[in-house]
Amino acid sequence: PQTRLPKVGTTIFTVMSQLALEHGAVNLGQGFPDFDVPERLVRALDRAMREGRNQYAPMTGVPALRQAIAAKTERCYGYRPDPDAEVTVTSGASEAIFDAVAAVVHPGDEVIVLDPCYDSYEPAIDLAGGRAVHVPLDPRTFAPDWAAVRAAVTPRTRLLMVNSPHNPSGAMFGAADIAALGALLADAPQVYLLSDEVYEHIVFDGRVHESALRHRRLRERAFVVSSFGKTYHCTGWKVGYCIAPPALSAELRKVHQYNTFCTFAPAQWAFAEMIEAEPEHYERLGAFYQAKRDRFREQLLGTKLKPLPVPGGYFQLVDYSAVSELDDAAFCRWLTVEHGVAAIPLSPFYENPPPGQRLARLCFAKNEATLDAAIERLRKL
Ligand code: PMP
Ligand code: GLN
What is the tens place of the pLDDT at every residue in 208-219? 999 999 999 999
Residues 307 and 233 in one domain: no
Residues 245 and 318 in one domain: no
Residues 273 and 257 in one domain: yes
Residues 257 and 146 in one domain: yes
Residues 215 and 305 in one domain: no
Taking every pair of Cα atoms in the chain, the longest distance, rounded to a whole number of angstroms, is 58
Which ligand sits closest to the CA of 30? 2
CA angle 294, 355, 381 (to 5 degrees): 45
Ligand 1 in reach of 307 Cβ (< 6 A): no
Within a domain: 92: yes
- For position 2, what pLDDT does the model report? 83
What range does the domain containing 354 cover?
12-30+284-378
Between the CA of 227 and the centroid of ligand 1 the distance, in Å, is 7
Q: Radius of gyration over alpha carbons of the chain, in Å?
A: 20
pLDDT tens track for 262-320: 999 999 999 999 999 999 999 999 999 999 999 999 999 999 999 999 999 999 999 99
Ligand 1 in reach of 311 Cβ (< 6 A): no
pTM, to two decimals: 0.98
pLDDT tens track for 325-354: 999 999 999 999 999 999 999 999 999 999
Q: Which atom of ligand 1 is nearest to the CA of 118?
A: 3
Query: Do residues 240 and 92 make contact, with C-beta atoms less than 8 angstroms apart?
Result: yes
Which ligand sits closest to the CA of 170? 1
Between the CA of 353 and the centroid of ligand 2 the distance, in Å, is 19
Ligand 2 in reach of 31 Cβ (< 6 A): yes
